[in-house]
Structure 1
């Protein structure tokens, strides 16, 4: 499925620890939404990125790691592939992991910005894991990291233990609510559901920043 006039270059970046029993054939099936979207007939055929300097999709069988640094041309329909991908990775992941997805406006350039144009860039942070607790743990860790990085501009790190404790309390309350509602399929949706999701307001995200 060629996309010569695709409006976006879509970059998928992340590292997922896999269960020790996961084999290449299982991983190929789990990643089918990606390589099929790229028009490939197999993971081996579709693992290469659009950019030669990116490693693409790699499976480290010794360390049981999936590593993704992969770009494909596409449109907003790629989000459907992402939904299926996350469900598939949940089934083979050993622990929680974050996957960054960046939509770069293929038609926007610096000259457009200088003339007051606005890019259609978008950024998503997706979370996968074997269970809700694992997913929430990686969400919590990223949020704590962001909060500390922000507040260390004004406070010493040793002063922030109370802030971290409040973050932990919020996630504990969310997990308790999730268990009580028996909605164990995925983390609650809402404004806080996706770490870093949606349109950013701080300028264009650097292209292929790894």
Structure 2
């Protein structure tokens, strides 16, 4: 698509630890929704950000780490590209990881706008991981970090153990419900599902 006069500047930011053995070709395919949206013909061609000061999309093979600090001009249809990317990265991720996406209103000028006028800026937090449990773990860790940072203004860290325990309880209950829902979708033990494969398919991604 053409991004001339696109209504948003979209920034994608996050680090994703990758499984041992993941190669550049696999990563290029997983990130294809991003670089094709930017009008590139390959990951190498599309890895550069719209802003020179941003490192763009980097793959550290030695550290097995995907790093993204990348901006592209676009519209709300970019959300579908993000969904496709997350589904693909789930198969390559070593552990759960968060990806921040910010839509900046390219047409909004804060200095010239009327006081009551608001920008169309939007923010998404996406999660990828090899399993639902891995995704929930990183969601839990981020929530604990946010809550503790907020409450430490008023309480000592040692006083917040009960709060953290309650957060853990909520995530445990959510995970139990997820497992239960997956169990309901499974055929009885000893029988095969369609095509001879037993068991329900796990969700590709949660966010």
Q: Does TM, normalized by the shorter one, top 0.5?
A: yes
Measured in 2, the distance between the counterparts of 1:113 and 1:15 equals 35
* CA RMSD after TM alignment: 1.3
Q: Once the two structures are superposed, what CA deviation does each residue of 1:136-181 show, in whole Å capped at 9, x if it has no partner? A: 0000000000000111111111000000000000000000000000
1:24 matches 2:49 = no
Deviation, 1:110, is 1.6
Query: Shift in Å at residue 109 of structure 1?
Result: 1.5
Residue 136 of structure 1 contacts residue 187 of structure 1 at CA under 8 Å; is this kept in 2?
Answer: no
* Structure 1 unpaired stretches of 5+: 189-193, 195-210
**Whole-Å Cα distance in 2 between the matches of residues 186 and 31 of structure 1?**
16
Residue 117 of structure 2 is matched in structure 1 by 117
In 2, the alpha carbon distance for the partners of 1:119 and 1:179 equals 40
Q: 4+ residue runs of structure 1 moved beyond 6 angstroms?
A: none
SS in 2 for 1:111: coil
Count residues in correspondence.
189
**Offset of residue 187 of structure 1:** 6.5
Larger Rg: 2
Instruction: Measure how far apart 1:116 and its partner are.
Output: 2.3
Gaps of 5+ in 2: 186-201
Corresponding position: 1:103 with 2:103: yes
1:38 corresponds to: 38
Residue in structure 2 matched with residue 81 of structure 1 by the alignment: 81
Q: Is the 8 A contact 2:90 2:204 kept in 1?
A: no
Partner residue, 2:141: 141
Return the TM-score normalized by structure 2: 0.88
How far apart, in 2, do the equivalents of 1:14 and 1:97 lie?
8
* Greater displacement, 17-26 / 113-122: 113-122
Q: Do 1:178 and 1:187's aligned partners in 2 also have CA atoms closer than 8 Å?
A: no
Task: Kindly indicate whether the alpha-carbon contact (under 8 Å) linking 2:127 and 2:205 is maintained by their aligned counterparts in 1.
Answer: no
User: What's the TM-score, normalizing by structure 1?
Assistant: 0.87
